[in-house]
Amino acid sequence: MNLPNKITVARICLIPFFLVVMLVDFGWGSFTIESEVIPYTHLVGAAIFIIASTTDWIDGHLARKHNLVTNMGKFLDPLADKLLVSSALIVLVQLGDISAWVAIVIISREFAVTGLRLLLAGGGEVVAAATLGKIKTWIQIVAISAYLLHDIPFIFIGIPFANIAMWGAVIMTIWSGWDYFAKNKDILLSSM
């Protein structure tokens, strides 16, 4: 296993730490900004999430720069993204920060695209993430990070950045999913 793939696996391994920090009450306390009570655990969880998300850029950059792109990496990288984002969305639903339908739309798209990837892989074709899919992932990461940080620093100027970013993430999720299926419709139809 090459270095980019090890970094991708490390991203997956950070997910349980993120979940524990976000969902277990360690009694670390909280502070208040603009009448918003912010638990310290949420800041630690946000840091873990942001570090894990940053590894997505690092592993891809190293793989391309050193010609280490592998089929394993093409499979693991989007899987790691989906696991990280899905876990964070479920946490945000449990905390009451986002509506369940938002998580359902985003996670459903991920399952649908993963199913299509498996179908393509059955035909011997491994497809790397498309540009729209990468943009979608980064918008999702920005939106989730904003929620985890309780909209800091935007809370000081009264802009609901997390809400705006999440709407962007939902729109981009639907668009990139449609694009993925449209580009592979011939393969999809021929396998029916």
- Least confident segment among 3-7, 27-31, 110-114: 110-114
Contact between residue 163 and residue 171 where contact means Cβ atoms under 8 Å apart: no
Span 74-124, pLDDT tens digits: 788 888 989 999 999 999 999 999 999 999 999 999 999 888 878 877 766
Report domain extents, the chain.
Answer: 3-190
List C-alpha distances in Å: 136 to 69, 106, 141: 21, 10, 9
**Confidence at residue 120, expressed as pLDDT on a 0 to 100 scale:** 77
Global pTM value: 0.90
Mean pLDDT of 35-63: 93
pLDDT tens digit sequence for 128-149: 567 898 899 899 999 999 999 9
Q: Is 106 exposed, middle or buried (0-12, 13-18, 19+ CB in 10 A)?
A: buried
Superfamily of domain 3-190: CDP-alcohol phosphotransferase transmembrane (TM) domain (1.20.120.1760)
Nearest residue to 137 via CA among 109, 100, 97, 99: 109
* HSE-up (13 A, CA, CB side) for residue 41: 15
CB atoms within 10 A of CB 177: 21
Q: How many helices (H) and strands (E) does the chain have?
A: 7, 2
Burial degree of 137 (CB within 10 A; 0-12, 13-18, 19+): buried
Distance CA 100, CA 20 (A): 21
